[in-house]
Copies of this chain bind each other. A is one copy, B any other.
Amino acid sequence: MAEEKVDNGDRTMCPIAHSTDVIGDRWSMLIVRELLLGQTRFQDIQAQTGATSQMVAARLKRLVAEGLVTREAYSQRPTRYAYRLTPKGIHLMPVILALRAWGERWCKPEGAQPATRMFHRSCGSELDLEGNCPSCGGLVSWTDMRGQPSDDWASERKRRADTFAEQRRSAPSQTEP
């Protein structure tokens, strides 16, 4: 991850240099997405991101070191950890929401359905991509939103989990680092 590091964020006032020094990497973002969705287990994260176990391990290690993620053993033989976001990690939600809005609007094929529907907790209305509530008439804070994967995305995620489990059964030697 650090192979092209020329000028890290420490010597600048710029908060974007600081934040991208920590999470300016595609796989870290996809891992944060999974943790925000409530995944806690290494293999589930790997299955949904499509990253190799080495890539997931390196990113999780960095996220733990930077205080975005905690890990706690839930099994001893073999040792298995549950990964959870700290408040610092949870506060990446606005970044994820902004990447979501931009990706839905500018990157996906014309007419494609949103992967996730977002709702205003206070009134229950569905929000637009920018986070406006049509009922309350204004932007809604991320802390007052609730997300719900669409049926199609839920199916896609189920397929990924099944395919990953199948691959592990046929190649059981691949172990979690």
Q: A12 to B94: give the CA distance in the assembly, Å.
A: 21
29 A–B pairs (Cβ distance < 8 Å), ordered by A: A6-B50, A6-B52, A7-B51, A9-B103, A12-B156, A13-B150, A14-B153, A15-B100, A15-B102, A15-B108, A16-B30, A16-B33, A16-B103, A19-B99, A19-B102, A19-B107, A20-B26, A20-B30, A20-B99, A20-B103, A21-B26, A24-B26, A91-B102, A94-B102, A95-B95, A95-B102, A98-B98, A138-B138, A138-B139
**Mask: chain A, 1-36; 1 = CB below 8 Å from B; 0 = not:** 000101101001111111111101111011001000
Which residues does chain B contribute within 8 Å of A100, judged by CB atoms?
A: 15-16, 19
CB distance from A141 to the nearest CB of B (A): 6
- Who on chain B is nearest to A131 by CB? B139
Which 4 A-B pairs have CB atoms at the shortest separation, nearest pair first?
A7-B50, A15-B103, A24-B26, A19-B103
Which residues does chain B contribute within 8 Å of A138, judged by CB atoms?
A: 138-139
Stretch in A72-80, A111-119, A167-175 touching the partner = A111-119
Residues of chain A from 132 to 162 with CB closer than 8 A to chain B in the complex:
138-141, 150, 152-153, 156
Query: Which residue, of A113, A150, A156, has the highest number of chain B Cβ atoms within 10 A?
Result: A156
Q: Is the CB of A101 within 8 A of B94?
A: yes
Q: A49 to B9: give the CA distance in the assembly, Å.
A: 10
Q: Is the CB of B55 within 8 A of A6?
A: yes
CB distance from A53 to the nearest CB of B (A): 11
Q: A110 to B14: give the CA distance in the assembly, Å.
A: 14
A105 at the binding interface (Cβ < 8 Å): yes
A166 at the binding interface (Cβ < 8 Å): no
